[in-house]
């Protein structure tokens, strides 16, 4: 069960990509809808919260997968199964 080790650079790229996409979608929505200042502010604030949530979700999922893979490799090397 060998996989790539967790890379900080890879974690940053894969986390920031979806977060930036949320911000781009919000910017396009503001430009396309041309709302008033109050509505535009609400759209941008929702986008900021959404981008932070996406960043946290993706990064924690990647870290958890890396930890699970490392534990499985460790159990495989020692010949024990921690799930049993």
Write the CB contacts of 73 (distance below 8 Å, at least 6 apart in sequence): 1, 2
Gap between the Cα atoms of 53 and 65, Å rounded? 18
Instruction: Output the pLDDT for position 74.
Output: 84
Gap between the Cα atoms of 50 and 38, Å rounded? 18
pLDDT in tens, 15-72: 999 999 999 999 999 999 999 999 999 999 999 999 999 999 999 999 999 899 888 8
Distance of CA 38 to the CA centre of its chain: 29
Q: Where are the domains of the chain?
A: 9-71
Instruction: Output the pLDDT for position 83.
Output: 55
Q: Where are the alpha helices (DSSP H) in 8-84?
A: 8-33, 37-78
Instruction: Output the pLDDT for position 81.
Output: 57
Residues 15, 62 contacting (CB under 8 angstroms): yes
Gap between the Cα atoms of 4 and 13, Å rounded? 15
Instruction: Output the pLDDT for position 76.
Output: 82
């Amino acid at each position: 069960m060998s996989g790539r080790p967790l890379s900080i650079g890879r974690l940053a790229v894969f986390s920031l990509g979806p977060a930036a996409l949320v911000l781009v979608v919000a910017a396009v929505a503001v430009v396309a809808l041309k709302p008033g200042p109050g509505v535009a502010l609400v759209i941008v604030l929702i986008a900021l919260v959404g981008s932070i949530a996406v960043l946290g979700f993706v990064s924690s999922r990647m870290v958890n997968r890396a930890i699970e893979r490392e534990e499985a490799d460790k159990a495989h090397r020692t010949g024990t199964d921690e799930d049993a």
